[in-house]
C-alpha cells in the first residue's frame, strides 16, 4: 500500500496523481494498481479506479497517472499488489 507519494495537483476541479513505479528486480514485473480518492476528512468518495495492470521491464520506471472524476477529491490512497 502506498500513500502520499508522487506529484499531486488540482486542475479543473480534478485531482491528478502521478506516481513513479520502478522495477528493481531482474525480471519483468506485473502488478495491479488501484487508486481511491478521498475527501477533506480522508473518507472515500466512491471515486475508485479499476485495478489496472502495469507491466514493467527490469530496471525501468513507469509513471502511473490517475485523475479523479469528482471535484470533492482532496487526497488519495494507492494500492499496489501482484497480478
Question: Quick one: pLDDT at residue 77?
Answer: 97
Within the chain, what is the greatest distance between any pair of CA atoms?
A: 41
Q: Is 8 or 17 the better-scoring residue by pLDDT? A: 17
Q: What are phi and psi of 61, to 5 degrees?
A: -120, 135
pLDDT exceeds 80 at position 6: no
13 grid coordinates = 476541479
Q: Confidence band (pLDDT; 50, 70, 90) for 9?
A: low
Amino acid at each position: 500500500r502506498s500513500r502520499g507519494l508522487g506529484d499531486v495537483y488540482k486542475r479543473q476541479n480534478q485531482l491528478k496523481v502521478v506516481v513513479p513505479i520502478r522495477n528493481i528486480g531482474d525480471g519483468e514485473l506485473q502488478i495491479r494498481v488501484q487508486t481511491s480518492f478521498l475527501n477533506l476528512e480522508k473518507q472515500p468518495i466512491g471515486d475508485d479506479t479499476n485495478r489496472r495492470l502495469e507491466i514493467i521491464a527490469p530496471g525501468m520506471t513507469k509513471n502511473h497517472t490517475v485523475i479523479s472524476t469528482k471535484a470533492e477529491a482532496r487526497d488519495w490512497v494507492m494500492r499496489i499488489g501482484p497480478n
